[in-house]
Structure 1
Amino acid sequence: MPYISTRTNVKLSNDQCESIKTKLGKAIELLPGKSENWLMLSFEDESNLYFKGKNDKPLAFVDVKLFGKASKDAYNNLTREIANILHEELNIQPDCIYVKYEEVSTWGWNGSNF
């Protein structure tokens, strides 16, 4: 039950959202037991993001929440793939992307909790 929220200062087209959605759907499988079948995504474009006191280049903040836990290696692999996707699709340099992970022990769906 992962959720990935991507906030960027770049304007996203529908085609870019669709492509990133598809690629993140594959990338989530880098975390054992996770798949696109349970993945929820959100995108916020044209956000007022600043890094190192400036907002003069493309930036992104990606928040990944998941029910359960994953290994450090799995997180490293997913971070690398997220950076690759955003660089490929939006020309955001990997050193301008933050990825935050949050492991959740209680997750609600369909009127009850896991």
Structure 2
Amino acid sequence: MDDKERLNILHRPWVAPFNWGLMIYKGASKEVICGFQYENEIIIPAFYKEFLEIINGCFLYDMSLFGIIESFTRSFLQCHSLQTANVYWKNSFKVDKTFFILADLLIVMKKM
């Protein structure tokens, strides 16, 4: 783990000085996850809540799985935000509003 609570694996300096093949963020607590759902009026699917408790977002080569960001900063690389995807992006594009966006390549339909 680095000082930002990320596990960095497979350093790829030929891509960029701080590029890693895998960048995995420390899991979020149940309290953070529940607070996120309440504040954003979002229901996170059960399987993804379990994932967030172990891995709160990650970059896997050219794909990212979104996580919960408690406060934005530009001083270091954070995971992509579930809030940005499910509150702002989803409402900016013509997509089914019942979808839950968890990654830049995947969309999962919520149970209604």
- TM-score, with length taken from structure 1: 0.31
- TM-score, with length taken from structure 2: 0.31
Indicate the structure with greater helix content: 1
Structure scoring higher RCO (CA < 8 A, sep ≥ 6) equals 1
